[in-house]
Amino acid sequence: MDCQRGVDFPWTATDRGPGHGRHVLFLMLACAPADETVLEPGCDLCALTDANQYRLSAELTAAEALLAPGKDVVIDFAGLTQDLQGHPVDPAVDIDQVSLLAFRNLAPAEIRERLVNDELQQSDVAGWLTAYPTGTTVQLSGFGTSGNTVDAPDYFVGGTTWMVILARDEGSTAASVAFLLPSESAAEEKVIVDNSTSRLAVDVDLAAFAPVIVEPGRTDVVLDWSAVETDGFGHEFVRSTATELALYRFDETPEALSSAALDLDALVDESWTLQLNGRPEATLDDLRGETAFTGISTGSTWVMMLRAADSLNPAPYLLTRLKAAR
């Protein structure tokens, strides 16, 4: 039925038969304005559930290099001009920390799988060494722990899988990952890390989960995630692992942001953070940033994340959208 033109009714105004009320109700529903706004009530004490939680799937590829055991292997990253997400890198300036992790009884494929699914346990790591390069190469003899150098070449032997992570931003952002495999059949003492060494592909749909509808323009909104049972990786959500809450405001739509879910820091228009100290809830009044937080508004995409400062995986444990009620 075309509600934009006159309708030829089969009865007159005085022809009110038994079905008259039913017909009138049908016409009221059928001819309601198509663009009528549906009001959404907002919360000020907001209880989050799994329906508000995002879902993440990721795939990490990383090169594997067979190297001579017991040698002072050189890691050369002069050719690394893009990180594993395709961002530009100046290897001589941006790479400020290199970590070397040793694993026993774990193959590279198992380590990659556990890493992207946030299933890597501290007990999996047999040793963790760090170096701070001053150029575009670093040798095993340059790694140490707690400020002390270690004879790393002596431990670079068969039966152990080594993962090297080249990082930027004071070691907080992984730029490339590679596996070093000591092998008696190998004579090579140098590994080249370049743009083809590793790649991280992430699939996130920021419009696929229910947003939290909050009262607009209020700074005293409380977010409570104690009822969330599953993290973004599909595991049990251990709330104590999240150390920081971050709130980001974007001019872009959720659909546009989905293709860059792990790159939100570079796209954000305004941001605020607060430290959780083990709490399962937070008041947005406690947020701090370069600009004052004045409440959730319409016309923007608002993303709230819970993260862990010491996690090897950059993906947040909880990510949801906050939306202002209308």
Handedness of CA 123, 127, 130, 135 (dihedral sign): negative
For residue 148, the model assigns a pLDDT of 85
pLDDT value for 18:
40
Strand locations in the chain (E)? 45-47, 57-67, 74-76, 97-104, 125-131, 137-139, 144-145, 148-149, 160-168, 173-182, 190-192, 198-203, 212-214, 222-224, 244-250, 270-275, 281-283, 288-289, 301-307, 318-324
CA-closest candidate to residue 111, choices 186, 65, 164, 72 = 164
At residue 312, the pLDDT reads: 66
Q: Is the dihedral of CA 80, 85, 88, 92 positive or negative?
A: negative
| Pair 98, 130: CB distance under 8 Å | yes
Amino acid of residue 47: A
pLDDT at 40: 66
**Sheet of 281-283, strand order:** 45-47, 222-224, 281-283
Give the domains, in start order, of the chain with CATH numbers. 45-56+204-324 (no CATH), 58-201 (2.60.40)
Give every residue of the chain whose pLDDT is below 50, as ranges: 1-38
Distance CA 206, CA 259 (A): 9
**What is residue 26's predicted lDDT score, i.e. its pLDDT?**
26
Question: What is the pLDDT, as a whole number, of residue 58?
Answer: 85
**pLDDT for the residue numbered 75:** 98
Residue-level pLDDT at 170: 87
CB atoms under 10 Å from CB of 229, counted, come to: 11
Render 107-124 in DSSP notation, one character per residue.
-HHHHHHHHHTT---GGG
DSSP states of 178-228 as a string?
EEEEE-TT----EEE--TTSEEEEEE--TTSSPPEEE-TT-S--EEE-TT-
Degrees (nearest 5) of the Cα angle 319, 325, 326?
A: 145
